[in-house]
């Protein structure tokens, strides 16, 4: 099958390459030509403009966007001018689900099918496959299914429901991921600081827990790999960014009055990781000092 891929960042490039390796014809467009040329050397078809990408694809065309949130709507507007009735456009980036509804409505005016896709798998997706959550019309899903089967591992893709449901599912997925990461972080810190911290092999323990334990997971496999590379994680700084989807998950919890204390606290801890010697900490130190404690004064 043919597909156009717009955006060759790490995720988009690996998705395109996996499909090429599975025998599909991928026409690729990227703002910088270096990635286009790199994929072309691996079997992709280069497109230096959106008009060229459209011309190289046979109808009904399938075009997949993997771009940062800030430039998605510009490209959708341009593609609306180029694509034809029956073509399907997939937005696979980290868009907010509420943005999908107006996009789908606008494209439907020209008979273009719009699908939103939550994509999980990161840099390991090329080898292991990508977990795919699709929202949008059944017709669009069926048209894409031959591609989805080869992009995902066995059982690794799902038509979640109507427009927006794919991105909504991925949003909640990322919120859960935050909570799981925070639980591992706190647990392993207790192991390291506890009475047996000097004796425990944390890498070996992470490996052990992935053998039949109820806390086994791919995240734990990644932690085991990190501990193998750097047992004390001294090469890393404890500074953790967030993609935005964790924030949207917490906002959704507030909006729907759904208790989500673990997911919310995990997000707050990411914010905390980026701060050092905050005013709030100095207020606590000042108050403790006034009560006869021992605040540490700055030199």
Rounded Cα distance between 16 and 92, Å, is 13
Q: Which residues pair with 161 in a beta bridge?
A: 135
Catalytic residue among 35, 91, 170, 245: 170
Average pLDDT rounded to a whole number, residues 177-181: 95
Answer yes or no: pTM beyond 0.85: yes
- Looking up tokens 């490996």, which residue turns up? 207
Question: Using 50, 70 and 90 to split pLDDT, how confident is the model at 104?
Answer: very high
End-to-end Cα separation, the chain, in angstroms: 66
Give all domains of the chain, ordered by start, each with its CATH number: 2-163 (3.40.50.720), 170-275 (1.10.1040.10)
Residue 242: the pLDDT is: 86
Could you list the beta-strand ranges (E) of the chain.
2-6, 25-29, 45-46, 62-65, 88-91, 113-120, 131-135, 157-161
252 is catalytic: no
Catalytic residue among 35, 54, 91, 177: 177
Question: Using 50, 70 and 90 to split pLDDT, how confident is the model at 283?
Answer: confident
170 is catalytic: yes
- Residue 219 CA to its chain's centroid (Å): 14
Q: Give, as one character, the DSSP assignment of residue 31.
A: S
Residue 299: the pLDDT is: 56
pLDDT of 93 higher than 60: yes
Average pLDDT rounded to a whole number, residues 242-267: 93
Helix (H) or strand (E) holding 200: none
Residue 21: the pLDDT is: 97
Secondary structure class of 77 (helix, strand, coil)? helix
Mean pLDDT of the chain: 94
Residue 279: the pLDDT is: 82
Average pLDDT rounded to a whole number, residues 89-100: 95
Percent of the chain having pLDDT more than 90?
A: 84
More confident residue, 22 or 299: 22
Residue 282: the pLDDT is: 83
- Residue 106 CA to its chain's centroid (Å): 26
pLDDT of 211 higher than 90: yes
pLDDT of 296 higher than 70: no
């Amino acid at each position: 099958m043919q597909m156009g891929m717009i955006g060759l960042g790490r995720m988009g490039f690996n998705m395109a390459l996996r499909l090429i390796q599975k025998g599909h014809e991928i026409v690729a467009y990227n703002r910088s030509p270096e990635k286009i040329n790199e994929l072309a050397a691996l079997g992709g078809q280069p497109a230096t403009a959106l008009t060229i990408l459209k011309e190289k694809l046979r109808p009904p065309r399938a075009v997949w966007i993997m771009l940062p949130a800030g430039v998605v709507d510009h490209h959708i507007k341009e593609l609306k001018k180029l694509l034809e009735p029956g073509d399907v456009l997939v937005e696979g980036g980290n868009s907010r689900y509420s943005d999908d509804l107006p996009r789908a409505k606008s494209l439907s005016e020209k008979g273009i099918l719009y699908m939103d896709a939550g994509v999980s798998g990161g840099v390991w997706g090329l080898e292991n496959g990508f977990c795919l959550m699709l929202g949008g019309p059944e017709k669009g899903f069926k048209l894409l299914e031959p591609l989805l089967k080869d992009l995902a591992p066995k059982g690794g893709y799902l038509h979640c429901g109507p427009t927006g449901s794919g991105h909504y599912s991925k949003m909640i997925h990322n919120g859960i991921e935050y909570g799981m990461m925070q639980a591992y972080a706190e647990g392993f810190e207790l192991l390291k600081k506890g009475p047996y911290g000097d004796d425990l092999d944390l890498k070996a323990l992470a490996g052990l827990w992935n053998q039949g334990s109820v806390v086994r997971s791919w995240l734990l496999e990644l932690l085991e790999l990190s501990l193998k590379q750097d047992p004390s994680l001294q090469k890393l700084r404890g500074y953790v960014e967030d993609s935005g989807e964790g924030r949207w998950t917490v906002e959704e919890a507030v909006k729907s009055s759904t208790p989500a204390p673990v997911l919310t606290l995990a997000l707050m801890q990411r914010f905390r990781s980026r701060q050092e010697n905050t005013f709030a900490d100095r207020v606590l130190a000042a108050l403790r000092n006034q009560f006869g404690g021992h605040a540490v004064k700055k030199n």
